[in-house]
Amino acid sequence: MKIVGIAACTSGIAHTYIAKEKLVKAAQALNHTIHIETQGTIGTENELSAKDIAAADVVIIAADIKVGGKERFQGKRLVEVPTHIVIKSPKALLNKIQAELGL
């Protein structure tokens, strides 16, 4: 799968980056491509491009707060989960998404 997404937590520090790291490592282990934008106290990092979004099979938003820019994903398959789900079992989440989307 080609995955893009956003990671964001209430403080915008620890869980944001842990969620991103867990998603990236799980996706790589499962041979998926992934690009995760972070939104936190220092602003947006690794911002997704229109090209990244257009090429994606699915968008994952791992967030405990309202994220900015969700309108960019209109027409895309969107999965929204709290950061603790991604941190606890990222591979299971990706496998479930892949099975449900038939990819």
Domains of the chain: 2-101 (3.40.50.2300)
CA nearest to 8, candidates 70, 72, 93: 70
Which amino acid is residue 58, in one-letter code? Answer: V
Q: Tell me the average pLDDT of the chain.
A: 95
Is the pLDDT confidence value at 40 over 90?
no
Is the pLDDT confidence value at 30 over 90?
yes
Contact 75, 64 (CB under 8 A): no
pLDDT digits (tens, 9 = 90+) for 58-96: 999 999 999 999 999 999 999 999 999 999 999 999 999
Is the pLDDT confidence value at 32 over 90?
yes
Read off the DSSP letter of residue 31: T
Q: What is the pTM of this model?
A: 0.95
Contact 36, 4 (CB under 8 A): yes
Q: Which active-site residues does the annotation give?
A: 9
What does the pLDDT read at residue 13?
78
